[in-house]
């Protein structure tokens, strides 16, 4: 029997599903992609919405804090911004080449037998590009993205008919859980954003704050990188991981092999 054909119950894990954020969670924030995205958003505010250049940065921050994203904030304030146009502008000029294939992460994900989802506020095109750059496009069961949690937006006849829904709103969390058809109590949610983690906890998920060294409120675990999963949460691989089961032992060996070639933080 192949390692990946064993059922979750065979491993005795408390988790049936893992839900991963994408940007700054599956790859490092140090790539510069997120900073480039912020600059592109500010350019959109200036070039497409007519805001003063010296106000764009503060406006982006305030819209994000208040509404969850610049797009959501603009539409809530009455700006008729098309979501596809916004995403095309903001993501179209990103330095995707800075995201490199991650064979260690790919191998680690393949040792996780449970269902795995991406849950991102970004649009599907961006998510696919990032996963392809990382070499992880076939490692997840489904991508839950902007289009998934805003299915009616393109059909709206007025701006306030379907407000943009995004993490960390509970509406977004509940839609994602419904789409994934998961039991929150047996689901591990990984994200780099404190507010998203708090929302995940409020939705009943087990939460993992990624990219930090200190837990935020609502975080059950904290990881410097996703590659720290085996040390921080070994129960993903089951309570019997050291119990002599041949398949689980092989999984442990694969994980150790991956980690032996990957720098791991404390």
The 10s digit of each residue's pLDDT in 168-203 is 999 999 999 999 999 999 999 999 999 999 999 999
DSSP class per residue in 19-75: EE--TTTTS-GGGSHHHHHHHHHHHHHHHTT---GGGHHHHHHHHHHHHSSHHHHHH
Whether pTM exceeds 0.85 = yes
Please tell me which residue, 11 or 30, carries the higher pLDDT value: 30
The 10s digit of each residue's pLDDT in 53-108 is 999 999 999 999 999 899 999 999 999 999 999 999 999 999 999 999 999 999 99
Q: How far apart are CA 218 and CA 208, in angstroms?
A: 9
Structure-block tokens of residue 220: 């059950």
- Domains (range + CATH), the chain: 17-28+100-236 (3.40.50.1000), 33-94 (1.10.150.450)
């Amino acid at each position: 029997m192949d390692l990946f054909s064993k059922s979750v119950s065979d491993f005795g894990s408390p988790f049936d599903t893992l839900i991963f954020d994408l940007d700054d969670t599956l790859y490092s924030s140090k790539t510069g992609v997120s900073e480039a995205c912020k600059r592109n958003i500010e350019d959109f505010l200036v070039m497409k919405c007519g805001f003063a250049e010296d106000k764009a940065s503060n406006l982006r921050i305030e819209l994000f804090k208040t509404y969850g994203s610049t797009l959501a904030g603009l539409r809530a304030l009455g700006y008729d911004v098309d979501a596809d146009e916004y995403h095309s502008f903001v993501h179209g000029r990103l330095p995707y080449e800075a995201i490199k294939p991650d064979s260690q992460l790919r191998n680690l994900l393949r040792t996780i037998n449970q269902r795995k989802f991406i849950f991102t506020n970004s649009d599907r095109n961006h998510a696919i590009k990032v996963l392809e750059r990382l070499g992880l496009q076939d490692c997840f069961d489904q991508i839950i993205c902007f289009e998934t949690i805003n299915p009616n937006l393109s059909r709206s006849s007025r701006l306030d008919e379907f407000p943009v829904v995004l993490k960390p709103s509970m509406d977004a969390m509940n839609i994602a859980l419904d789409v994934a058809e998961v039991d929150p109590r047996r689901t591990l949610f990984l994200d780099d954003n404190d507010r998203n983690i708090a929302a995940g906890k409020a939705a009943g998920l087990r939460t993992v704050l990624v990219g930090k060294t200190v837990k935020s409120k609502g975080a059950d675990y904290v990881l410097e990188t996703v590659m720290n999963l085996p040390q921080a949460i070994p129960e993903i691989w089951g309570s019997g991981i050291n119990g002599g089961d041949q398949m689980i032992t092989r999984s442990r060996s694969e994980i150790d092999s991956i980690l032996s070639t990957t720098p791991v933080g404390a």
